Amino acid sequence: MPPEFADVLIVGGGPTGAALTLALRNSGLDVVLLEAKECLSSDPRPLALSYGSRLILERLGVWAQVAAPTPILSIHVSQRGGFGCSVLNASHADVPALGYVVSYGELQSALQNNQTGCFRGATVLRIESGEEAARAEFSYLGSMRQVTAKLLVIAEGGRGLEGVEGVTQREKDYHQSAVVTQVVSRLLHCNVAYERFTPQGPIALLPFGEKLALVWTTGPHVADMLCGLNDTLFLQRLHQHFGDRLGGFTETGRRVSFPLKLRYATTPTMPRTVILGNAAQTLHPVAGQGFNLGLRDSWELSEIILRSDEQQLGTSEMLRTYRARRRLDRYGGIFFTDTLLTLFSSDSAPLRAVRGFGLAALDALPSAKRFLMRRMIFGARG
């Protein structure tokens, strides 16, 4: 049964909340995690983890348990209907791989191993932040309960934050959905990830075992239509849309679509409370930054907690330190993703030419590539 008091209470056991729980496991603090789902997620979405995220997961002792991560050795960036492309290689950034593709579900099961203080089937319905403590009311095994904590961490993905007093969110609807599935191509992927910008939205093909994980962004109606097509027609559409670079496609798995929005809290803290991961900022998946940013949120918060004494837990000073440490990386991630989309979603001929020159210039400038890649891999430090 969850206790009535905790030092740290984490609401939401997705990958960000689970990573924070793991990071605090030897802290001597009473850490409680409440997760609404009864069972582990079988979410099919692929996650491209940066090399920096791998280093964090190694420090958390879970990297070896992540099932079959597929290395990304280079990324090929291009635009449909326009010239210019850029190839980013791991060697340009002095890392063995730019990142690794894993499935959300498999990452979750690696993170959930050896978790203590985690209560599944506990749905938080109300959160209250106060100067002395924060409180969460939740339903568990058919009755209402509450936990009071010195520090409350909201990591519930952001969907339930609207009614929480003190949280202001900004939202931008991209009017796009991502169709996610796995496909087999005629040519080998050779550990190259493809990011192709089209006026309807970006399309990403990521090496995933022998297959490719597809994230095809498009309008919501087209996404529904693509999910409903038979396999042969879907593969033909994909070939037309992506082009010949992988020689066409021969197999597809089940297709699922996700609506896409930018949504972020104007500040990631409230009294005695930190908001992190998707709850703090939900990004478009275009650059595969969302979870990487959320994992850095968790890691930095755990470092601040572990370096402070117990009296400082949840104090305004601790929250100020957290905000300052995360500001540049957080706003950098939001701005970079949103700008990329705005810049690449217009079909105007002059803009297409500017983008083409931009991609060609990036390809010719090793120092610009290195800067961009290291930012994407390790984030920005304030």
Phi, psi (deg, nearest 5) at residue 345: -95, -10
Determine the interface stretch with ligand FAD among 40-48, 68-76, 230-238, 308-316 (rule: CB under 6 A).
Answer: 40-48
Q: Which is nearer to ligand FAD, 216 or 249 (CB)?
A: 216
Determine the interface stretch with ligand FAD among 1-9, 44-52, 266-274, 304-312 (rule: CB under 6 A).
Answer: 44-52
Q: Which is nearer to ligand FAD, 291 or 336 (CB)?
A: 291
Residue of 306, 380, 371 whose CA lies nearest to 93: 371
d(CA 266, CA 170): 7
Query: CB of 274 within 8 A of CB of 20?
Result: no
Which residue matches tokens 């929005």? 261
Give the residue, chosen from 25, 27, 44, 45, that forms a contact with ligand FAD under the rule CB under 6 A. Answer: 45
Residue of 262, 289, 276 whose CA lies nearest to 17: 276
Q: Establish if 258 lies at the interface with ligand FAD (CB under 6 A).
A: yes
Determine the interface stretch with ligand FAD among 74-82, 195-203, 224-232, 283-291 (rule: CB under 6 A).
Answer: 283-291
Q: Establish if 176 lies at the interface with ligand FAD (CB under 6 A).
A: no
SS3 of residue 94 by DSSP: coil
Minimum CB separation from ligand FAD for residue 265, in Å?
A: 12
Q: Establish if 107 lies at the interface with ligand FAD (CB under 6 A).
A: no
Q: Give the chain's length.
A: 382
Q: Binding to ligand FAD (CB under 6 A): which residues in 12-31?
A: 12-17
Q: Binding to ligand FAD (CB under 6 A): which residues in 140-159?
A: 155-157
Which residue number places its CB atom closest to ligand FAD?
A: 14
Minimum CB separation from ligand FAD for residue 19, in Å?
A: 8
Give the residue, chosen from 72, 88, 111, 124, that forms a contact with ligand FAD under the rule CB under 6 A. Answer: 124
Beta bridge partners of 183: 212, 252
d(CA 170, CA 149): 27
Binding mask 48-87 vs ligand FAD (x if CB under 6 A, - otherwise)? x---------------------------------------
Residue of 304, 358, 349 whose CA lies nearest to 326: 304
Beta-strand (E) ranges in 94-226?
Answer: 99-103, 118-120, 123-129, 134-140, 143-154, 169-185, 192-197, 203-208, 211-218
Q: Establish if 178 lies at the interface with ligand FAD (CB under 6 A).
A: yes
The gap from C-alpha 2 to its chain's centroid, in whole angstroms, comes to: 28
Give the residue, chosen from 8, 24, 32, 36, that forms a contact with ligand FAD under the rule CB under 6 A. Answer: 36
d(CA 183, CA 350): 34
Q: Establish if 379 lies at the interface with ligand FAD (CB under 6 A).
A: no
Minimum CB separation from ligand FAD for residue 212, in Å?
A: 13
Give the residue, chosen from 215, 305, 341, 362, that forms a contact with ligand FAD under the rule CB under 6 A. Answer: 215
Give the residue, chosen from 216, 291, 299, 378, that forms a contact with ligand FAD under the rule CB under 6 A. Answer: 291
Residue of 378, 375, 362 whose CA lies nearest to 335: 375
Number of residues that bind ligand FAD (CB under 6 A): 33
Q: Which is nearer to ligand FAD, 34 or 75 (CB)?
A: 34
Phi, psi (deg, nearest 5) at residue 302: -65, -40
**What letter represents residue 163's amino acid?**
G
Beta bridge partners of 87: 76
Q: Establish if 34 lies at the interface with ligand FAD (CB under 6 A).
A: yes
Minimum CB separation from ligand FAD for residue 121, in Å?
A: 9
Phi, psi (deg, nearest 5) at residue 10: -110, 125
Query: CB of 86 within 8 A of CB of 195?
Result: no
Residues of this chain that bind ligand FAD (CB under 6 A): 11-17, 34-37, 45, 47-48, 123-124, 155-157, 160, 178, 180, 215, 258, 277-278, 285, 288-292, 294
